[in-house]
Chain A
Amino acid sequence: MSQVSVSERAAAAGEVPVTRAPYFVRKKKGITPRSIAVLVFLTICALFFCVPLYVVVVTSFKTMDQIREGAIFTLPHIWTLEAWDHAWNHACSGIKCDGLKVGFWNSVSILFPSLILSISLAMVTGFALALWNVRWAGGFLFLLFICAFVPFQIIMYPLIVMTTTTKIYGTLWAVAVIHAVLAMPVLTLIFRNYYKDIPTEIMSAAMMDSGSFWRIFFEIIVPMSGNILIVVLILQITSIWNDYLIGVTFGGLTGQPMTVNLANLITISTGTTNYAHNMAAALLTAIPPLVVYFLVGKLFVQGVTAGAIKG
């Protein structure tokens, strides 16, 4: 017999006033040492990214005179777009001084063919491997899996020879095609795994209704690929846009993407370094992927978690 029940009985008889043990009330939400620690940590993390970004942004709007003062955190005395204009229109890459816009348009012309090529090929291959009766599909898949882990540097030289033989070396097309080829294994695996989750009965129904590979692909499968397309688009846009090595290797002199352009104009060896120009150029190069993230970031998260929960 426990103490509590004894005293309770006593209380019931009206003899002894009893103080009952209080219920454990859920603690009110408020600032606790733990949450302060978390906040501080998060703030430091945020600053880690924000401070350099802040410096880059303000510096790009400063005049060279103010930059020489050395106070990198001060706001510009005079806000000027001169550095942006210079970086876009007049910055020198090698002996040509046409600015970053050349590289920008190069990157755009690399991006779109490459996107279309890699995604359409990977979609069709993924569909065939996942839902069609393909001989040796398992072995092919394993091969793709291996390919996804081969570092680009190892096959760089053979690829150069191949592009030279096909006479596209040094053009935008070489860069675009190489991007598409290198992205194929991973993209195919992504699509294949996504399509594997399509209920078999839907495929059976489609086989009985139409039976045509392309008709099923375009009418049933492509419309069901929205989520994964967003994911792959973002992955591909950022990786192609931010790539340097493929661009510098296969672009030659005329097919250089924006990143190569940027590197050239920043590693200039003569004269003084114009920090404002460099910062503006770096920002210009970084803007397109940022815009893509802002536009479709929400869809991206939906796409990444799609399939995690049914419905």
Chain B
Amino acid sequence: MPAVSFEHIVKRYGAVTVLDDLNLAIEDGDFLVLLGPSGCGKTTLLNLLAGLLEVSDGRITIGDRDVTELDPKDRGLAMVFQSYALYPTKTVRGNLKFGLAASKLPSEEVERRIAWVAKMLQIEPLLDRKPAQLSGGQRQRVAIGRAIIKKVDVFLFDEPLSNLDAKLRTEMRLEIKKLHDELKSTVVYVTHDQIEAMTMATKIAVMDGGVIQQFGTPDEVYEHPANLFVAGFIGAPAMNMRSATLAVKAGKVEAVFKSGARLDVSDYPFQAPARDGLPVVIGMRPEHFTIGEPASGGTAQFTLPVLSAERTGSDATLYLTFEDEMLALRVAPDLAAGLRVGSTVPVQFQAGKANLFDAQTGRRI
């Protein structure tokens, strides 16, 4: 079955190595999102899979076929591009038809597939128009149509939604997800938008500097970031990071911040026994804070001055000063409305939800 795997992939441009010994394997039916900042190598990886770029070293397999040396058209893939890449002189029908150019299908089958795709994507009335006469969303549909008309097992998407406005993006996001569920195909999707990644993916590969920083389900990546990069990249507002030192005393582990404030992290699932005096970075998600006095006592408590509050309607972000830096908290909007800048609030953090990283290596401990 068509699972995609990259084995020891190396990609060099002259003296510059973009990808170095990269390994990644996904299973049939997975929706893999390659997520990372610009220039992290995610589009390069996609183009290597598509065959638009040649690997310098390594092996790419789709199912049990080694496709490393194959031409793009022979790899059994379909791709949707960021700029849609529709053929400007062809009608929508012509564009869809050219999607099958390499397949040598009988013309009745071609017509049947065009009808099928047009119906599925609701572009039937547009079939005889040129791309220039379509809106952005319609072009995007046609581009997707030109990919799914091939009925291949693996679809590639290269930031397909980044040229759409916010509303359309949400719609198309749902639609692509629906298509994936219907077609039961494998998808490799490149984006720098973490919302797209979190909502659509079954697997996320977070990339930075040509290296896969973490590979896992969206929940794994969000809740257990493997290192400081992933922790900082995923989540908006970003995770709050503070340096601290571990203090182990009588089976109780505490993180001591620079200011002397202490946080009991005994509940944290340490992968290795905590070492006394280890410098760490504590990552705290904005939504794991609560405002107010502790109900039962026991959790860590800070009293922090309010810096500002941002309300976005359904949500509010409260900024407090902690350790001389800004601390973002996700709170209920009505709560944020009642706070004055400069006043102090009691804050509690669910220590069990903390993320601890080795300050030296940046890895999760």
Contact = CB atoms under 8 A, between A and B. Distances in A.
B257 interface: no
A223 B131 CA distance: 14
A224 interface: yes
A209 B102 contact: yes
Given A209-B99, A209-B102, A210-B101, A204 B81 contact: yes
B89 A223 contact: yes
A309 interface: no
Contacts of B52: 204, 207-208
Interface string B46-81: 010011100000000000000000011110011101
Contacts of A208: 50-52, 72-73, 77-79
Interface residues of A, number: 17
B98 interface: yes
Chain B CB count within 10 A is highest, among A199, A206, A209, A224, for: A209
B85 A215 contact: no
B113 interface: no
Interface in B130-155: 146
A205 interface: yes
Contact of A224 (B83, B89, B99, B102): B89
Nearest to B87: A220
B266 interface: no
Interface of A is mostly: helix
Chain B CB count within 10 A is highest, among A202, A205, A219, for: A205
B83 A199 contact: yes
A201 B87 contact: no
B237 interface: no
A212 B89 contact: no
Interface in A170-206: 199, 201-202, 204-206
Contacts of B98: 206, 209-210, 219-220
Given A209-B73, A209-B101, A212-B101, A220 B85 contact: no
Nearest to A211: B73
B99 to A, nearest CB: 5
Contacts of A206: 87, 98
B342 interface: no
Contact of B85 (A204, A210, A212): A204
Contacts of A210: 73, 98, 101-102
20 contacts: A201-B83, A202-B85, A202-B87, A202-B88, A204-B72, A205-B79, A206-B87, A207-B71, A207-B72, A207-B73, A209-B73, A209-B98, A210-B98, A211-B72, A211-B102, A212-B102, A215-B101, A219-B90, A220-B89, A220-B90
Interface of B: 47, 50-52, 71-74, 77-79, 81-90, 98-102, 146
Given A204-B52, A205-B79, A212-B101, 8 more contacts: A199-B85, A202-B85, A204-B85, A205-B81, A208-B78, A211-B73, A219-B101, A220-B98
